[in-house]
Chain A
Amino acid sequence: AQKVTQAQTEISVVEKEDVTLDCVYETRDTTYYLFWYKQPPSGELVFLIRRNSFDEQNEISGRYSWNFQKSTSSFNFTITASQVVDSAVYFCALSPSYNTDKLIFGTGTRLQVFP
Chain B
Amino acid sequence: EADIYQTPRYLVIGTGKKITLECSQTMGHDKMYWYQQDPGMELHLIHYSYGVNSTEKGDLSSESTVSRIRTEHFPLTLESARPSHTSQYLCASSVQRLAGETQYFGPGTRLLVL
> Taking each of A46, A89, A103, A107, which has the highest tally of chain B beta carbons within 10 Å of its own beta carbon?
A103
Number of interface residues of B (CB under 8 A): 25
Contacts of B90 on A, CB cut-off 8 Å?
Answer: 43-45
Complex: how many Å from CA A13 to CA B108? 27
- Asked whether A44 lies within 8 Å of B105 as measured between CB atoms, the reply is yes
Does B94 sit at the interface, judged by CB under 8 A?
yes
Query: Do A35 and B102 touch across chains, with their CB atoms under 8 A apart?
Result: yes
- B contact residues around A33 at 8 Å (CB): 100-101
Interface residues of B in 6-45 (CB under 8 A from A): 31, 33, 40-43, 45
Contact: B88 with A43, CB < 8 Å? yes
| B-contacting residues, A71-109, CB 8 Å | 89, 91, 95, 100-103, 105, 107-108
Interchain Cβ contacts within 8 Å, total number = 54
A16: Cβ under 8 A from any B Cβ: no
The secondary structure that dominates the B interface is: strand
Question: B41 near A89 (CB under 8 angstroms)?
Answer: yes
Count of residues in A whose CB is under 8 Å from the partner chain: 22
Query: What residues of B have a CB within 8 angstroms of the CB of A46 in the complex?
Result: 105
- Give the CA-CA distance A108 to B90 in the complex, in Å: 15
12 sampled A-B residue pairs with Cβ under 8 A: A33-B100, A43-B110, A44-B90, A44-B105, A44-B106, A47-B102, A47-B103, A47-B104, A47-B105, A101-B94, A101-B96, A105-B42
A-contacting residues of B (Cβ < 8 Å)? 1, 31, 33, 40-43, 45, 48, 88, 90, 92, 94, 96, 99-108, 110
